[in-house]
Structure 1
Amino acid sequence: MSIGNQLPELNDTVELSAAEREGYLRDGHAIIRQLARPDEIAAYREVIGEVVREHNYHTKPLEERDTYGKAFIQIGNVWELSEAARRFVFARRFAKAAADLMGVPAVRIYHDQALFKEPGGGHTPWHQDQIYWPLDTDKTITLWMPLVPVPEEVGSMTFVSGSHKNGYISKQEISDESHRTLKAYIEQKGLPQINYGAMAAGDATFHAGWTLHSAPGNPTSLMREVMTVIYIADGLTIAEPDSGARRSDLARWFPELSPGDAAASRLNPILYP
């Protein structure tokens, strides 16, 4: 439990089963229940929520925003904004799980994102995360952990099993267009979709950078508070950006680095081991 200004340590590790590791490599996604305990989440929810409230950039009501703006409040690299939040984002327990699922010995952080879906918030369109990342690799993974219970009607994200093996499917950024295009792609190929349903605070899904996924809207009266951390295998090289989105990500998340450099800026420390 947190005591005074102290926060729970998250530097112990958990052992994943062979089925969890094999399932991730096969499907491109996995769920690990109770990766964080209720007392741990309760302590960190407060500090992360404070960062989100302070840095929320939305000034328009939901109905006046575009599809992306309706999807969530998105705050990147909360670890740079709060020393307390940094302890959560840099958790060795989470980083080891990411490394084990990818089957790599060491991982760095790429960046984190708080994704808070407001009451009445819209859906998150179909997309691939890695269209934004200037990396040519399959060794990327995102942890998605709710800080509050997520009911069945909101649920986890929906993943397309095996889609990570198809690599770069579309360069479309998250939008109504990406949703239409990728929905048609999924339906035409008859690809299997998985949603893990209700999640407890501290449960975590992991998905590969190329895994197609979407999320439903939030029909409830409660904020869907989620924290995400993106990990990359240590030893990767920055690729030549082939889009404006990737050029922007290169400048933001790999500051002062160029294509051909090791993907290891001051913002990308090794989190495990």
Structure 2
Amino acid sequence: MTTLTAPDLADFKAISETQIESFRENGHVLIPGVLNEAEVSHYRDVINSAATKFNTEKRKLEDRDTYGKAFLQITNLWEVDDNVKAYALAKRFGKIAADLLGVENVRIYHDQALYKEPGGGFTPWHQDQYYWPVDTSNTITMWMPLIDIDVDMGMLTFASGSHQAGFVENVPISDESEAMLEKFIQDKGFKVSRAQTMKAGDATWHYGWTLHSAPGNKSTETMREVMTVIFIADGAKVTEPKNKHQEADRQRWMCGLPAGSPLNSPLNPLIL
């Protein structure tokens, strides 16, 4: 594999106390300019190339269920592509994650390219941590568009404050989760909010328990290109899986570590 000369993402980007407080209160925050124009241009090419190579979805959009229509999903590209590895394990991202969570260090859980195709469907309400058998709430997802996007292309949408409710429903991303969690959000009176636009290289950050969704991509020709990286506070332990999805995650992203073990498999390296 040829490794491209990549922009170095080992430097730290300072974030403000206001951003940290907003994140902890609302469960999400948008931080602009995490990557500059040159950096995002380089890594967009790297990620698109790897995602194209390792994408396994061959069905037409109309032949998929709600989950399948929501996005093309290619996971843990850092594991198979050294060029993506420089992005996913970037200290710049890890430091922002640690600062927002208020911890000394974080480990990567996995990365995930989420491409919403032109005409792609909505992403139902869900909690990321439904899938993760870990004993901490100090978990965070970075969601970064690789192109400029607006609300009509599938902007991430949050139920502010919902992270404080913890595990809500034992249900995966589906039409069922959409209906159940929409009712929960209305009953609890959580404010639903989203950015109207994001520049390539901006990033939203949200807790693993923060309820979120996304509308469909109304564009007729532009793919919504997004790269995500999930981080978990160092010191977390593996828990007994609560559903088949957590068991699948335990086997795949934790290398089968037994419940009670520190989350420190070869696929969960320290970032800082």
Distance (whole Å) between structure 1 residues aligned to residue 49 and residue 70 of structure 2: 20
**Identity in percent:** 48
- What's the offset of the Cα at 1:47? 1.1
Q: Is this contact kept in 2: 1:154–1:198, CA < 8 A?
A: no
Distance (whole Å) between structure 1 residues aligned to residue 40 and residue 147 of structure 2: 8
SS of match in other structure, 1:230: strand
Distance (whole Å) between structure 2 residues aligned to residue 5 and residue 13 of structure 1: 22
What are the Cα deviations for residues 10-44 of structure 1, in whole angstroms up to 9, with x where unaligned? 11001110100011111110010010001101011
Aligned to 2:67: 68
Aligned to 2:242: 242
Distance (whole Å) between structure 1 residues aligned to residue 178 and residue 154 of structure 2: 19
- What's the offset of the Cα at 1:256? 3.5
Aligned to 1:181: 180
Distance (whole Å) between structure 1 residues aligned to residue 106 and residue 153 of structure 2: 31
SS of match in other structure, 1:270: coil
Give the alignment of 1:122-137 within 5 angstroms: 122-137=121-136
Q: Does 1:77 align with 2:52?
A: no
Read off the aligned partner of 1:271 and give its amino acid letter: I
Aligned to 1:191: 190
Distance (whole Å) between structure 1 residues aligned to residue 43 and residue 14 of structure 2: 23
Read off the aligned partner of 1:174 and give its amino acid letter: I
- What's the offset of the Cα at 1:155? 5.1
Distance (whole Å) between structure 1 residues aligned to residue 126 and residue 239 of structure 2: 20
- What's the offset of the Cα at 1:54? 1.2
Aligned to 2:21: 22
- What's the offset of the Cα at 1:177? 0.4
RMSD, aligned α-carbons: 1.0
Distance (whole Å) between structure 2 residues aligned to residue 207 and residue 231 of structure 1: 10
- What's the offset of the Cα at 1:136? 2.3
SS of match in other structure, 1:30: strand
Structure 1 runs not aligned, ≥5 long:
none
Aligned to 2:149: 150
Structure 2 runs not aligned, ≥5 long:
none
SS of match in other structure, 1:269: coil
What are the Cα deviations for residues 145-203 of structure 1, in whole angstroms up to 9, with x where unaligned? 01111123225311111110110000100000000110111112221111012100000
User: TM-score, structure 1 length as denominator?
Assistant: 0.97
What are the Cα deviations for residues 35-62 of structure 1, in whole angstroms up to 9, with x where unaligned? 0001101011111101111122122111
User: TM-score, structure 2 length as denominator?
Assistant: 0.97
Distance (whole Å) between structure 1 residues aligned to residue 182 and residue 173 of structure 2: 13
Give the alignment of 1:222-233 within 5 angstroms: 222-233=222-233
**Runs of 4+ more than 6 Å apart:** none
Q: Is this contact kept in 2: 1:155–1:199, CA < 8 A?
A: no
Q: Number of matched residues?
A: 269
